[in-house]
Amino acid sequence: MPVNIIPPQPWTGRSDPEDGPDALRLHHLAGKGDANRAVIGFASDAGVARNKGRIGAHDGPAAMRKAMAGLAAPQNPVRFTDLGDIEVLGDDLEAGQIALSEKLHQNLTQHGRIIVLGGGHETAFASYSGLAKAYPDKRIGIINLDAHLDLRLPGGNGPSSGTPFAQIRALAHEKFDYLCIGVAEESNTQALMDRAREWNVGTVSDHALIADKHAADDAVSAIIKRSDLVYLTIDIDVLPHFQAPGVSAPAARGVPLEIIEYLVVTVLTECKKTATPCPLADIVELSPPHDMQSVTAKSAALLARRLLMSAS
C-alpha cells in the first residue's frame, strides 16, 4: 500500500501543576475532536527526492510536534485536535497527495483553521486541492513565504517539491492568484523568473524584506482584498541557514525569523480586517536528519504556534 494513515498520538511534555491552572503548554491543549483548530502531518520524502534535494522531510511532522508540545500557551489559549499523519511510502507521491487532499476536504469545514505539517513543498499541491474541493466556488489567494518560486514544470519523474504552484495553476486555471515573498534571485533560474512574470505571479525579494520589513505589506493587502479565502504556505528554508539549517536547501542569506513572524502576523491581521478567512496553512521542508540541536524545528514551532493559537 503506497500510503499509510497514521492515527494521532498523545501529545506529551513538561507540566507545572504547582503554578496553577494557567501553567499550560501546547500539549495540554491537544486532543479535542471538535476543537476549532487542527493539525495534520504529511510525512513524505518523495517530493524532495524527485527534486534532487537532501531527503529527510518525512520526519518533519513528528519533529515539529515535539518542538511545539513544550511551548507555553498564550493568555487565551485555543484548543486543537490532531488529525494524525498521511505517510507516503516509497515514491508514490501522487497517492499521498490525493490522500491528504481528501482528508483536508473532509475536515476543513469542521475546523476554523488546519495547519499542515510537511513534508516537502509537494505538500502544497495537496493542501490547495483539499481547500479547493471544500470551497469550490471561492477565489483562493495563495501567499507563499519562500526563497523559491516552486514553479518548475513536472518532468519525466513526475511532480516534485519544486512543482506545486505550476500544478496548482493547471488545476485552478483563471483563478490562480499567487504571491511569493522572500524570493532569492540566486535560487531561481531565469526560466522560473520569466515564468513568474508570464503567469502574473507577485514576488517580493529577500533583499527587499531585509532592507524594509514592510516591503510586502501592499502586496499582502492587495491579494487578501481580492480573495475569498487565503491559503498561507511557509517553506522553512526561507529563513537564514543559522535559523534553519535542517532543510533540503539551506539559505546562505535568507529572511530573518523576526521578519517572517511579522509577515505571518500581517497576513492574519489583514485577513481579520477584511473578514477574509485563512482556513489553511502549512509549514514545510523541515528535515530533522540535518537539524543540529533541533534549531529548525524550534523555528518552525514558533510559526506553527502563532498560526494555531491566533484568535484571527
pLDDT at site 156:
87
Ordered structural domains, the chain, with CATH = 3-309 (3.40.800.10)
Phi, psi of 181 (to 5 degrees): -115, 125
Provide the mean pLDDT of the chain: 96
Return the closest-CA partner of residue 261 out of 228, 283, 231.
Answer: 283
What element of type H or E holds 261?
helix 257-274
pLDDT at site 2:
84
Stretches where the chain sits below pLDDT 50 are none
What does the pLDDT look like over 111-152, one tens digit per residue? 999 999 999 999 999 999 999 999 999 999 999 999 999 999
DSSP assignment letter at 153: P
Distances (CA, A) of 40 to 60, 62, 177: 12, 10, 25
For 58, the grid coordinates are 518525512
